[in-house]
Structure 1
Amino acid sequence: MAEHIRIGDVAPRVQYVGDGARTDFTYPFPIFMAEEMEVRIDGIVLGSGYTVSGAGLSDGGTVTLPAAPAIGSTVTLRRRIKVERTTDFQDNGVLRARTLNDELDRMVAALQEQREELSSALRRDPADIGGEMTLPMRSARANRLLGFDSVGDIVVVPRDSGLLTAPFPGAVPHTVEDKLAETLTARDFGATGDGVTDDGPALQAAMNAAAASGKMLTIGEGSFRTQQPLTLPGAAAGLTMRGRIVYAGPGNQPALTIGDGGTTRNANKLHSGIAVTRATTSDWLSEGDIGVVLRNHDASLIEIREITGFTIGLRTLGDERGFEDTTLILGRFVNNKIGLDVHTLTAAAWNTSIRYYGGHFAVGSTVHTDKDRFGIRFSAEPGAYVAHNRHLFDGPNFELNARDIPATGIPFLMEVNSRAVVARAIRMEGCDPIVARHTAGAQDHLYEIAWASQGYAIEIEHTETATRLGGVVKAYHQALPNREATREVASVPSLRAAAIRWNGTETGFEKLACLSTNVSGSPTSLPQFAFPALDSYVLTSRGVILTGGRGLGFVVDTARCKDFALTVDADSPRLVVMAFDASWNLLTDAAGTMVMASGQSLAWNATARWWQGSADMDDAGLTRLQAIRLAPQVATAIIGVARITTDYEVRAMRLHCDPRQAPPLLYGLPDLRIGVRDLIAEQAWDPPSIAAGASAQINVTVAGARPGDFVQAAYSLSTSGCVFLAQIGAQDTVTVTAWNRSGAAVDLNAGTVRVRVVKA
C-alpha cells in the first residue's frame, strides 16, 4: 500500500539562479497535482512548455525546462493550490481516513501558502496592539500620500505637506515634492534599464529636465537601451551613471553628447561613471560613429568607466570655445578604432591643459584585423586650431593586438602641432614597436615606457609630412639604468683654445671640421666638404666669430646611432646638418628628408648642400637646445652651426647622443685630416756614412705642414752620436738632418725617420 502524502514544515517556494546550462530544478515541498506548480523566470510566469515530476510525493520532485535559463536569471518554483471545495462527505456513509487526510492535507498546504505570502506583506509587529490601520476610501486617498500620525495610526496627507524632516538637530521640514526633486533619476521618467525596452525617449526627457532644473542626473543600475542619440545640455549640473547606455541607434553620429557647443563654456561639471556601449561593434569606417562627445568643458572632473565598440570611443571637443583645465579619469576603452580623440572644430577653439589618469585601451584579437587602431589621437578639423598644448597622461595601458596582424596598432597618433604632451608609465602589450606616430609639427613630447612586450626597442615614427622632431622616448623597461645617463660624443669647451693656425691665412679647430656655405666645383664626397682649415675666421679672446660663408661641425659615425643633441654657447647660432651614406657620398633631398630637428623645421639648402635650421638657436625662440634625428640611410653626418644671416661669436660646442650608443667621432683619420693639431709622418731611410762634423738629409712629405709650424724628428734606431734636426723648408715638406757631432765617422743602419708637426 502506497504511503499517503505528508505535508512537512517546508516553505512552498524555492528559487535558483540560472547558469546558462541547467534545465532541471528540484522542489522540496509536496504538490498534489502537476498543475499546482507555478514556474517563473525573472518574475514572468511560464504558461507551458515545462514538465513536472514528483506530484503526490512527500519530498517533492523536479521541474524540467525546455531550455536552460540565461546566466544570472532567477528561476522561482512555488505551489499554488486552488482554494475550493467541490465535494462533500456522504451523509450516513463510511468516513474513510484517506478521504479525511486528503482534505486536511490540502487545508494545511493552503495555510502554508498564506503564511508565505503574508511574510512579505507590510504588517504590524506582534507586540504592537491597537491603533487604526485601515486605509481610507479610494476617493479620500487619491492623489495623496500615506503616512502615520503622532500615535502611529494611518493617515493621508496632501502631497505638498511639509512633513519630512531629517532626524538631526537644525533640520528644516521639506515637502515630499521638494524631497523627491532633490535628485533626478532616469527611472523618474520611465526608463527601465532592462536592456530590451527602448529607453531613449525617457533618457532624453530626464536629461532635458536636468538641464531645465540645473540638477545632477542619475542613471541607475541596469542596461538602458536607446535607439536615438542622446544629449545632456550644458545647463545640467552633471551626470552620474551606475548602469550603462546601450546604443542601438543610427550610425555616423555620437551616441551621447555632453555639454553645449558653440561659444558656451561648460565649467565646473561633475560627470562620473560614464559607460556607453554599442549594441553591435562599429565597422570603423565612419568617424562620426562616436561613443561620447564632451564639448567645451572647463575646470571639470570627468570619470569614464567604459566605452565599447565605436570608431571613436571618446572625443573631447573644443568648438567655438576651448576644452581646457579639466581632469579625466579613464577606465576601459574596448574595440574602438580610436579610444580617445583630442579634437578641435574651429580656428577659435583650443584643447589644452588636460590631466588624464589611467585608461585601458584594448582591441580584441579578432576585431577588424585589417584596420589600423590607435589608443589616443590628437586631431583637428581642416583650418581648426592645432596647438594642443600641455596634456599629461598618467599610467595609460595599451593592449592593441596588432603585432601578429597586417594592421598597425600604435598608442598615440599625433596629427597636429601639439606641444608638451607628457605620458608617464606607459604599458604597451601587443602593440607595434612604435609608441607614437607624428604626422605634423608636434614637439616637446615625452613618452615614458614603464613596460612593453617589445622591450626597450621603441621609437617615435615620423611620417613624410612631419615637420618637427616630435619628442623623446624614455624606454625604462629593461633599459632604466642606461637611460638615465647622457653620453657625450664630443666636447670643445673653448673654441679659442682649440683654434689651430693652419697657415698664414687659414684657421682650423681641434675635433671640428671647417665648413663653407658654398663649396666650389661639384663636390659629392665627405672629404670635399670637411676642411681642416679655412680663411675668414676671426678669433676673439673667448672664441671665434663666424663670418660670411663659414661654419663648424662635428663629423660623427651615425651608422648605428640616429639620435643626437647639439648644444652651443654662441650668440644666435644656426643649426646645419650634412648627411652621407656608408661610402661617404652626399645624401641630398632627392632621397627624401634625411634630418629632423626638435624645435624647428629644417630646409634643404641646395647651394651649401646641407639641411639648415629655419631659425637661429636662441632662448627667445625656444630653439636653443636642439635634438637631431637622422634617417636610417645616413651613415655619417656633420652636425654643427654656420653663419647664415649675421656674424656671431661661438665659444663652446658639445655633441651628445642616445646613451645606448657610443658613435665614433671622425677626425684626424688618414683620409680625413681635420680637427688635429699634430701631424705625424714617417719614412724609411738608410743614411750614408756620415763623417765627423758632417750631416745627411732627407725630405719627408707631411700633408698640411707649413713654414712656421713646430716640428720634431726622430730615428727608429740608436743614433750613435748623431743628432736629428727638422725644419719645414717648403709647404708639405719637412727636411730632416742627421748631424754627426762625434769625432769619428758614423754609419747608421737602415731605419725609419719619424716626423711630428705641431700647429701653433
Structure 2
Amino acid sequence: MAEHIRIGDVAPRVQYVGDGARTDFDFPFPIFATDDLEIRVGAVVLNGGYSVTGAGQSEGGTATLVAPPGVGETVTLRRRVRVERNTDFQDNGLLRARTLNDELDRLIAVLQEQRDEIGSALRQDPSEIGGQLTLPLRPARANRLLGFDSNGDAAIFPRDSGLLTAPYPGAIPRTAEDKLGERLSARDFGATGNGVTDDGPALQAAMNAAAAAGKTLLIGEGSHRTTQPLVLPGAAAGLIMRGAIVYAGPSDQAALTIGDGGTARNANKILTGLTVLRASVGPWADENEIGLVLRNLDASVVEIREVNGFTIGIRTVGDGRGFEDTTLYLGRIVNNGIGLDIHTLTASAWNTSVRYYGGHFAIGSSVNTTKDRFGIRLSAAPGAYVAHNRHVFDGPNFELQAEGRPIAGIPFLCQVNSRAIVARAMRMEGCSHFVARHTAGAQDHLYEVAWASQGYQVEIEHAAGATRLGGAVRTLHQAAPHVEARRELASVPAMRAAAIRWNASETGFEKLAVLSSNVAGSPAALADFVFPGLDNIALTNRGAVLGGGRALGFVVDARQCKDFALALDADTPRLMVMTFDANMNLLTDAAGQAVLASGQSVVWNPTARWWQGAADMEDATLTRLQAVKLSAAVGYAVIGVARIGTDYEVRAMRLACDPRHAPALLYGLPDLKHGVRELVAEAAWDPPSVAAGGTAQVNVTVPGARAGDFAQASYSVSTILPFIAQVSAQDTVTVAVWNRTGGAVDLNPGTVRVRVVKA
C-alpha cells in the first residue's frame, strides 16, 4: 500500500445536478483531510450538514449530505487545500522521503487548484505577447468605465465618453448613459417583482420617468405587488410587461390607468403583455374597482394577457376626447363581474371603431355564485355620448358559469344606443340562453355564435328600457348547414289549418304528402308511396298527431339541388327521407349512402323503405333545424318526419334549399295528387234541349271528392242558365243546368268545369 497520496492529472472540481433524492456525491480527486473539501449547493457553501469519506486516498472519496439537494440544483465539490507549510527540514537532519513526498503532493494540489481558477479568469490568448492589462490605481478608475484602447490595452474612459459603438457597419459612437436610456426598466427604480415587497412606489416612479422621457417602460418578470393605484401618463411611448402587477390597494379605484383624460389624444401607443391581478377576487360590489383603464387611445395596439378578480376587468374610456381606431388583443379576462367595459364619460367623448381579437371571458365555478356576470358591456356615464359604433369582435370565448343558476351570465350587455356591433365566431359555454341583453336603443348588432352549450336556442334579450329591435343572432352551432340554406321552398305554418279531411277516415295536408311505413302490394315508384291522405292521424287544436306507421313530407325535385333544410315545431320528431332516381323509381340502401343529415346519423328502414334519423330531434341534443344532403343518384325525394317510437304532435313545417337553386315542390299534379285542398276536373258535354222549368245533368269524375265537400261548376258556352254542382258520390260530382226561362233552351256543345274544395 502506498505511504502517501498520489496526485494524478485530475481536475480538483466535480459538479452534479440534484434530483431531489440523491445524497451521495463522489469526488475523483484526492484530499489530504476532510477540511480540504468545499461543498456548494447552488452558490451557497455548506458549513455543515454533511460527512466525507476517503480523505487521504489517492482515488478520492464520497460526500454524503444530510438533506438531498432539490431537483435541478447544482452540487459542486472542489478541493481547497490551505496554502501553508507546517514542516521544516533541519540542517544535516534526517530527510525522510514520506515527509518530502507529502510536501510535494501539497504543492501539486495547490498548483492544480490555481490552474483551475486561472482557467475561468479573463486573460490574454496564449498567442498574444506583451500588452498592458494592469488596472489603473483606484483613484484613477473611480467613477470611470473600463475598456480597451486602440492597441487593445486596458484603459479607462469618462462615463460620458462617446466611445460605445454597436458592432455593425454604419454604427456611430454613443454615450453609456444614452445607450442605457434607450428603454426604462422598473428594476432601475427599485422594483423587485418578488411578490412580497410593495413595488408600488418604484413602479410609479418608473412610469413618471417614462412619461418625462417619452420612453417605453419595461416591467420585467415576476409578481410586482402594489398597494397603491398606478398611472402611466399619456406622454409615455408605451409599456411592455413580462411579469404581472398584483394589486392589493383600495377597492374603490383602478389598479392601473394608462393614458391621460380630458382632451388629450393618446395616440400611437404600443402596450404589450398587460397583466393585472387582484391579490384576492373581490365581491364585485363597487364599479370603481377596475383592473385596467385605457383612456383616449387612438391608433394604438394593446395586447392584454390577463386581468383577474375585479368588479370591472378592463375599461376603455372616451374621456373628454375619444377612444378610437385601436386594436386590442385579449387574453384571459377572468373572474370579473364585467370583463370589458366600453365606456364614455362626457358628451364630447366617443368610443368608436375598435377591433378586438380573442378574449377568454371566464368565471370560476365558486366565484360570486349569486351575482350576475357579463363578458362585455357597452355603457356611458349619465349625459355622456351613447352612440358607440363599429366595434368588431373576432373569436371571443365566454364561460360564465350561469347555466342552470338563477343569475344572468350573458356575453354582451348593451346599455347605450350602440350601432354596428359585430361579434364573429363566438363560443358560449355555461352562459344564459341570451347572447346579449339590450336595455336602450341599440341597433344593427350582429352576433354570430359558432358554438354554444345551449344548442341553437340563443337569442337577444330586449329588457326594460329597450327602444329598438337591436340586432340579429346568426347561430352556427348545430345549425350551420341549415343557416346557409336560405331559399324557402315551402312552409306549412299552421298544421291544423292546413289539414284536409280527405274522406271520412283519412286526413291530408296542403303541400304535404302522407306516407305509410307499410305500403301494400309491390310499390316501386314515387306515386306508389305518397298519398293525399291516410287514417291514423288525429287533429288537435294546434296541429296533428302522427300515429303508428305514418309520416309527412315535402316532395321535391332533387335532380339539380341536393342540399335542403327542414325546420319544424313538433314534439320529439324523427327525420324521414325517402329517395328516388331521376325516373321516380325507389332507391334503397343498395344504392349506397343516399342521405346525410346534420347533427345526427341516418339509418335505413327496410320495412318503410326510407332513411330515418338515428334519434329524435330534441332541443339541445340534436336540433330541430335539420340539414339534409342527398347523394348524386337521387332525382326526387320526400323530406319530412315520421312516427317511429311514440305518437307525437306536429304543429308547423318549413323546407328550405341551397340558394343557388330553385327546385320544384311537387304536389297537386296529375300523377301526384297529394297536398291540395282544391280539386278540379272538366268534361265535354252536349246538353239536350232543356224545356222551360226543366233541368239537365251530367256526372263529372273528380278523384278525391266526397260527400260534404264544397262544389262549383261552370260551362264554357255563354248562357244565362245557372249550373249547380254537388258531390253525389265518392269521386263523382253531378252538374245540373236549370232552365228558368219561359221557353225551351238548346245549349251548344261545350266543356263543364268543376271545382271541389275539401272540407
State the TM-score, normalized to the length of structure 2: 0.61
Structure 2 counterpart of 1:430, one-letter code? G
Measured at CA, do residues 24 and 339 of structure 1 come closer, stay the same or move farther in structure 2, by a change above 3 Å?
Answer: farther
Contact 1:716 1:754 in 2 (8 A): no
- Pairing partner for 1:65 from 64, 67, 83: 67
1:318 aligns with 318
2:34 aligns with 33
2:391 aligns with 391
1:154 aligns with 154
Q: Secondary structure at the match of 2:212?
A: helix
Structure 2 residue runs of 5 or longer lacking an equivalent are 492-566, 572-650, 659-676, 680-689, 697-707, 711-720, 748-753
Question: Distance between the aligned counterparts of 1:256 and 1:226, measured in 2?
Answer: 10
Contact 1:297 1:323 in 2 (8 A): yes
1:287 aligns with 287
Contact 1:89 1:95 in 2 (8 A): no
How far did 1:283 drift? 3.3
Residue 713 of structure 2 is aligned to residue 714 of structure 1: no
How far did 1:6 drift? 8.1
Question: Distance between the aligned counterparts of 1:15 and 1:701, measured in 2?
Answer: 102
> Which structure 2 residues correspond to residues 748-759 of structure 1 after superposition, within 5 A?
none
How far did 1:273 drift? 2.0
Residue 85 of structure 2 is aligned to residue 83 of structure 1: no
> Which structure 2 residues correspond to residues 429-468 of structure 1 after superposition, within 5 A?
429-468=429-468
Question: Distance between the aligned counterparts of 1:385 and 1:469, measured in 2?
Answer: 21
How far did 1:317 drift? 1.3
How far did 1:558 drift? 12
1:127 aligns with 127
Residue 23 of structure 2 is aligned to residue 12 of structure 1: no
Question: Distance between the aligned counterparts of 1:407 and 1:345, measured in 2?
Answer: 28
What are the superposed Cα offsets for residues 378-400 of structure 1, whole Å, 9 maximum, x if unpaired?
22223322221110011112233
How far did 1:355 drift? 0.5
1:615 aligns with none
Question: Distance between the aligned counterparts of 2:428 and 2:203, measured in 1?
Answer: 37
Measured at CA, do residues 177 and 127 of structure 1 come closer, stay the same or move farther in structure 2, by a change above 3 Å?
Answer: same
Q: Secondary structure at the match of 1:385?
A: coil
Question: Distance between the aligned counterparts of 1:106 and 1:657, measured in 2?
Answer: 100
Structure 1 counterpart of 2:317, one-letter code? L
Question: Distance between the aligned counterparts of 1:711 and 1:96, measured in 2?
Answer: 154
1:142 aligns with 142
Measured at CA, do residues 145 and 308 of structure 1 come closer, stay the same or move farther in structure 2, by a change above 3 Å?
Answer: same
Measured at CA, do residues 104 and 214 of structure 1 come closer, stay the same or move farther in structure 2, by a change above 3 Å?
Answer: same
Aligned-residue identity in percent: 59
Q: Secondary structure at the match of 2:254?
A: coil
1:538 aligns with none
Residue 212 of structure 2 is aligned to residue 212 of structure 1: yes
Structure 1 counterpart of 2:413, one-letter code? L
Question: Distance between the aligned counterparts of 1:397 and 1:475, measured in 2?
Answer: 15
2:344 aligns with 344
Contact 1:229 1:253 in 2 (8 A): yes
Structure 1 counterpart of 2:15, one-letter code? V
Q: Secondary structure at the match of 2:326?
A: strand
Question: Distance between the aligned counterparts of 2:391 and 2:348, measured in 1?
Answer: 19
Structure 2 counterpart of 1:433, one-letter code? H
Question: Distance between the aligned counterparts of 2:376 and 2:3, measured in 1?
Answer: 74
Structure 2 counterpart of 1:356, one-letter code? Y
Q: Secondary structure at the match of 1:255?
A: strand
Measured at CA, do residues 27 and 483 of structure 1 come closer, stay the same or move farther in structure 2, by a change above 3 Å?
Answer: same
Contact 1:436 1:459 in 2 (8 A): yes
Contact 2:723 2:735 in 1 (8 A): no
Structure 2 counterpart of 1:14, one-letter code? Q
Structure 2 counterpart of 1:376, one-letter code? I
Contact 1:723 1:741 in 2 (8 A): no
Question: Distance between the aligned counterparts of 2:357 and 2:237, measured in 1?
Answer: 22
> Which structure 2 residues correspond to residues 6-405 of structure 1 after superposition, within 5 A?
9=10, 12=13, 14=15, 16=17, 22=20, 24-29=22-27, 32-33=33-34, 36-40=37-41, 43=43, 50-52=49-51, 56=55, 58-65=60-67, 74-79=73-78, 81=80, 83-85=82-84, 87-88=86-87, 114-403=114-403
How far did 1:479 drift? 0.8
Contact 1:302 1:328 in 2 (8 A): yes
> Which structure 2 residues correspond to residues 318-717 of structure 1 after superposition, within 5 A?
318-403=318-403, 407-486=407-486, 693-695=692-694, 713-717=724-728
How far did 1:141 drift? 0.8
How far did 1:111 drift? 5.3
Measured at CA, do residues 25 and 121 of structure 1 come closer, stay the same or move farther in structure 2, by a change above 3 Å?
Answer: farther
Contact 2:723 2:736 in 1 (8 A): no
Question: Distance between the aligned counterparts of 1:429 and 1:203, measured in 2?
Answer: 38
Structure 1 counterpart of 2:484, one-letter code? E
What are the superposed Cα offsets for residues 678-701 of structure 1, whole Å, 9 maximum, x if unpaired?
999xxxxxxxxxx9643489xx99
Structure 1 counterpart of 2:34, one-letter code? M
**Which region of structure 1 is more displaced relative to structure 2, 213-222 or 419-428?**
213-222
Question: Distance between the aligned counterparts of 2:138 and 2:367, measured in 1?
Answer: 59
RMSD: 4.7
Structure 2 counterpart of 1:33, one-letter code? T
Measured at CA, do residues 39 and 55 of structure 1 come closer, stay the same or move farther in structure 2, by a change above 3 Å?
Answer: farther
What are the superposed Cα offsets for residues 255-292 of structure 1, whole Å, 9 maximum, x if unpaired?
22111112211111111222222333333333333221
Q: Secondary structure at the match of 2:139?
A: helix
Contact 2:695 2:738 in 1 (8 A): no
What are the superposed Cα offsets for residues 560-587 of structure 1, whole Å, 9 maximum, x if unpaired?
99xxxxxxxxxxxxxxxxxxxxxxxxxx
Structure 1 residue runs of 5 or longer lacking an equivalent are 492-556, 562-635, 637-655, 661-677, 681-690, 703-709, 727-735, 744-752
Measured at CA, do residues 220 and 478 of structure 1 come closer, stay the same or move farther in structure 2, by a change above 3 Å?
Answer: same
Question: Distance between the aligned counterparts of 2:228 and 2:734, measured in 1?
Answer: 108
Question: Distance between the aligned counterparts of 1:225 and 1:168, measured in 2?
Answer: 40
1:723 aligns with 736
Contact 1:345 1:384 in 2 (8 A): yes
**Which region of structure 1 is more displaced relative to structure 2, 242-251 or 319-328?**
242-251
**Which region of structure 1 is more displaced relative to structure 2, 298-307 or 456-465?**
456-465
Question: Distance between the aligned counterparts of 1:406 and 1:44, measured in 2?
Answer: 58
How far did 1:4 drift? 9.0
Contact 1:713 1:754 in 2 (8 A): no
Question: Distance between the aligned counterparts of 1:44 and 1:404, measured in 2?
Answer: 57
Measured at CA, do residues 409 and 152 of structure 1 come closer, stay the same or move farther in structure 2, by a change above 3 Å?
Answer: same
2:718 aligns with none
How far did 1:341 drift? 1.6
Measured at CA, do residues 379 and 156 of structure 1 come closer, stay the same or move farther in structure 2, by a change above 3 Å?
Answer: same
What are the superposed Cα offsets for residues 37-77 of structure 1, whole Å, 9 maximum, x if unpaired?
54445x566666x44565748353443438x85x8x74544
How far did 1:658 drift? 11
Question: Distance between the aligned counterparts of 2:26 and 2:738, measured in 1?
Answer: 121
Contact 2:38 2:45 in 1 (8 A): no
What are the superposed Cα offsets for residues 328-362 of structure 1, whole Å, 9 maximum, x if unpaired?
11122233332222122223322111011122223
Measured at CA, do residues 29 and 489 of structure 1 come closer, stay the same or move farther in structure 2, by a change above 3 Å?
Answer: same
Contact 1:24 1:62 in 2 (8 A): no
Contact 1:435 1:447 in 2 (8 A): yes
Question: Distance between the aligned counterparts of 1:382 and 1:6, measured in 2?
Answer: 91
1:517 aligns with none
Contact 1:222 1:244 in 2 (8 A): yes
Q: Secondary structure at the match of 2:180?
A: helix
Contact 1:12 1:112 in 2 (8 A): no
Question: Distance between the aligned counterparts of 2:191 and 2:296, measured in 1?
Answer: 28
Structure 2 counterpart of 1:29, one-letter code? F
Q: Secondary structure at the match of 1:380?
A: coil
